[in-house]
Structure 1
Amino acid sequence: MTAEIASNTPTSLFNTANTITRKTGRFTLRYRPYTLEMRHVFTIAAGSRSTTPVVLTALEFDGIVGYGEASMPPYLGESHESVLAFLDKVDLTGFNDPFLTEHILEYVDAIALKNTAAKASLDIALHDLLGKTMQQPWHRIWGYNPATTPNTSFTIGIDTAEKVRQKVSEAEPYQLLKVKLGLDTDKMMIEAIREVTDKPLCVDVNQGWKQRDEALEMSHWLAERGVVFLEQPMPKEQIDDNTWLTENSPIPTIGDEAVQRLDDVRKAHGVYSGINIKLMKCTGMREAHKMAELARALDMKVMLGCMTETSCAISAAAQLSPIVDWADLDGALLISNDVYQGMAVVDGKVVLSDKAGIGITQLSNT
């Protein structure tokens, strides 16, 4: 087993030539680029990739260190260069108390438009730091019961029938499979999976369906084959079509690309049955928490998702998992070079760490 490194001090992970270290008031901010390697080529309706760029962050205050991460899949429009440029602008000299979370993160959000993954990297690091200061994990600070966490789905990317069956075999421990659709191979994908398992499925179309009549026909076909919900079935701009589909579909619809930040939750009400919250879309844990509570108040379903991420961002998101309907927190399971250990999956169920903060430790082989 890979050994863990104590998480209250920066370690070799940030003792590299490409790490930037900046003293900014009473805070010390460290950040460095990193590239995640996929176990399989990952294909969705919008394209394929075998790597994902991330930026790892560490935020230190009075000797306590919190860790964060920005993950940048292509559709977010961020990159190593844009995240590093954003972090170069961060000046925390006006803040002498890390518990001024709202003020600090409002300042970070105002530095530049968009850059949501870059902002999330600071938000996660700050939450990790504060949780360690309080010596409590965030799910406990929020008052959530770790026993009520859901199963996490495991993602099956678009591929040949043979590869799909192989991926399903590798996903044996998981009780819910998430299938990427949106191309002309949709029925083949589902049929290949149904040849080898009868586990419940959810599907993510990534805006791949364009016609609402065809989308409704597919929703009935999928419902008959054990699919429990549709994620972003049509382009987010087709508001009327998505609304019509939600009203007529036999299974719930979930807004993903259409729901980025807090202001989008009310806009999604009535258009979709629920929302998919991702830290990299919404700037981190602070806003994700607000989105979940608002969606609940609007009687909407809540899904907790992720990008391709290390166990740092996955474990941060998992702190919200006790209150969601569905979780898709497999991002770290899809990569071969994780640098943290944190949230675990046991028999398909999300299991939260009782370690303080977001519940992670660095791995000694990094």
Structure 2
Amino acid sequence: MQHTDWQTITMGKFTLRIRPYTLTMRHVFTVASFSRTTTPVVLTELTYEGITGYGEASMPPYLGESQQSVISFLQKVDLSPFTSPFQTQEILTYVDGIATKNTAAKAAIDIALHDLLGKLMGQPFYKIWGLNPADIPATSFTIGIDTQDMIRKKVTEAAEFKILKVKLGLDSDKMIIDTIRSVTDVPLCADINQGWTDKERALEMAHWLAERGVVFLEQPMPKEQLEDNAWLTERSPIPTIADEGCQRYTDIAALQGVYSGINIKLMKCTGMREAKKMAELARALKMKVMLGCMTETSCAISAAAQLAPLVDWADLDGALLIANDIFQGMEVKDGYCYLPDQAGIGLVKSTTS
């Protein structure tokens, strides 16, 4: 898959290019429900009047998308009725209506369109949105479930980060936290990935984790257990954040009171346009906002980072977890995100890709 040729689709004034690509993980990546060493993605390029915007669809297993399903969706996209990329609302509403779900495929168009628009305007998208990159919180770095020796190694490698995200949800939870605490005392956020099923045990763990410097719980129990999650949120000493339980804008209102906040990911919500709307709605509902990612290249990471000034917590380490990124964009230095002052989403593409 690495060297599959680009497929080109001409649509009136627009040209869409599509290519599957496989990301290689630096370490085996383990969460409560699975382990993997690669992530399939599909890269997109959207060209209008000689200007090209870059996009990406990333497909971790639980999204239910594959390279083939994304390519099949993208082959249905026909932008020939549109005369300008500035018809953004109409274009993205049309793309969203082609089929249900397929959110990563839709994000690949959305990101490329925003990159293209920013380049046409000659401005980074965070400036177009009027956001200040100095407001971006420190990004967390993810420590997957592993052996004690590997956890210590990963934590040591992540010494520059001001906050670590820890994958929990198995019987090894306390061992993992104790192992991390033997190496560092930086704040932690705990991502349970729906791994806890008993609310009483979840509350007991919430207190135990809070005493050890964990600042919030991400998706503590299965998303179907709405009443249990609400019960936990009401009693937990630290905030609870919906991840698997919050996919799109229309999910948010029903989650007020069930969780303290939401985790927005471009691959879940169809891209930058809807992600910004989600952040604004959550804020209006007095909910916390986290901005997350999948394992992605710097393309999708840099796209998400454009709206990072709006959020309480950033988890934008996806490109740092892979060994074969083909873009340069948003950079992490000393645990903080730095957006390049470049038009669009700020990407430079590798000349070898």
Would you say same fold, with TM above 0.5? yes
Instruction: Mark the CA change 1:41 to 1:17 in structure 2 (over 3 Å): closer, same or farther.
Output: closer
Residue of structure 2 aligned with 1:156, choices 138, 143, 149:
143
- Tell me if structure 1 keeps the 8 A contact 2:4–2:20: no
Hey, what does 2:81 align to over in structure 1?
Answer: 94
1:153-178 alpha-carbon deviations (Å, 9 max, x no partner): 00000000110000001101111000
Q: Secondary structure at the match of 1:23?
A: strand
Residue of structure 1 aligned with 2:333, choices 328, 346, 353:
346
Counterpart amino acid of residue 212 in structure 2 = R
- Tell me if structure 1 keeps the 8 A contact 2:4–2:21: no
- Tell me if structure 1 keeps the 8 A contact 2:193–2:221: yes
Residue of structure 2 aligned with 1:45, choices 32, 50, 54:
32
Q: State how far apart, in whole Å, the 1-side matches of 2:10 and 2:102 are.
A: 22
Residue of structure 2 aligned with 1:282, choices 266, 269, 273:
269
Q: Does 1:34 align with 2:21?
A: yes
Q: State how far apart, in whole Å, the 2-side matches of 1:250 and 1:80 are.
A: 41
Q: State how far apart, in whole Å, the 2-side matches of 1:221 and 1:324 are.
A: 26
Residue of structure 1 aligned with 2:10, choices 3, 8, 23:
23
Q: Secondary structure at the match of 2:259?
A: coil
Counterpart amino acid of residue 34 in structure 2 = G
Q: Secondary structure at the match of 2:252?
A: helix
1:87-112 alpha-carbon deviations (Å, 9 max, x no partner): 11111110001101010001000111
Deviation at 1:352, TM superposition (A): 1.0
Hey, what does 1:67 align to over in structure 2?
Answer: 54
Q: Secondary structure at the match of 1:213?
A: helix
Hey, what does 1:232 align to over in structure 2?
Answer: 219
Counterpart amino acid of residue 26 in structure 2 = R
Deviation at 1:17, TM superposition (A): 5.1
1:233-252 alpha-carbon deviations (Å, 9 max, x no partner): 00000000000100000000
Hey, what does 1:10 align to over in structure 2?
Answer: none
What percent identity do the matched residue pairs reach? Answer: 70
Q: State how far apart, in whole Å, the 2-side matches of 1:17 and 1:272 are.
A: 42
Counterpart amino acid of residue 299 in structure 2 = C
Hey, what does 1:80 align to over in structure 2?
Answer: 67
Task: Report the number of matched residues.
Answer: 352
Q: Secondary structure at the match of 1:191?
A: helix
Deviation at 1:350, TM superposition (A): 1.1
Q: Aligned-pair RMSD on alpha carbons?
A: 0.9
- Tell me if structure 1 keeps the 8 A contact 2:292–2:314: yes
Q: Does 1:123 align with 2:104?
A: no
1:183-223 alpha-carbon deviations (Å, 9 max, x no partner): 11000000000000000000000000000000000000000
- Tell me if structure 1 keeps the 8 A contact 2:266–2:275: yes
Hey, what does 2:43 align to over in structure 1?
Answer: 56
1:239-269 alpha-carbon deviations (Å, 9 max, x no partner): 0000010000000000000100000111111
Residue of structure 1 aligned with 2:305, choices 286, 306, 318:
318
Q: Does 1:243 align with 2:252?
A: no
Counterpart amino acid of residue 76 in structure 2 = K
Instruction: Mark the CA change 1:17 to 1:207 in structure 2 (over 3 Å): closer, same or farther.
Output: closer
Hey, what does 2:179 align to over in structure 1?
Answer: 192
Counterpart amino acid of residue 200 in structure 1 = P
- The runs of 4+ residues in structure 1 deviating greater than 2 Å are none
Q: Does 1:216 align with 2:203?
A: yes
Q: Does 1:174 align with 2:161?
A: yes
Instruction: Mark the CA change 1:335 to 1:17 in structure 2 (over 3 Å): closer, same or farther.
Output: closer
Q: State how far apart, in whole Å, the 1-side matches of 2:85 and 2:28 are.
A: 40
Q: State how far apart, in whole Å, the 1-side matches of 2:333 and 2:130 are.
A: 22
Gaps of 5+ in 1: 1-13
Gaps of 5+ in 2: none
Counterpart amino acid of residue 22 in structure 2 = T
- Tell me if structure 1 keeps the 8 A contact 2:13–2:83: yes
Counterpart amino acid of residue 306 in structure 2 = Q
Q: Secondary structure at the match of 1:175?
A: coil
Normalised to the residue count of structure 1, the TM-score between the two structures is 0.95
Deviation at 1:290, TM superposition (A): 0.3
Hey, what does 2:134 align to over in structure 1?
Answer: 147
Q: Which moved more, 1:206-215 or 1:264-273?
A: 264-273
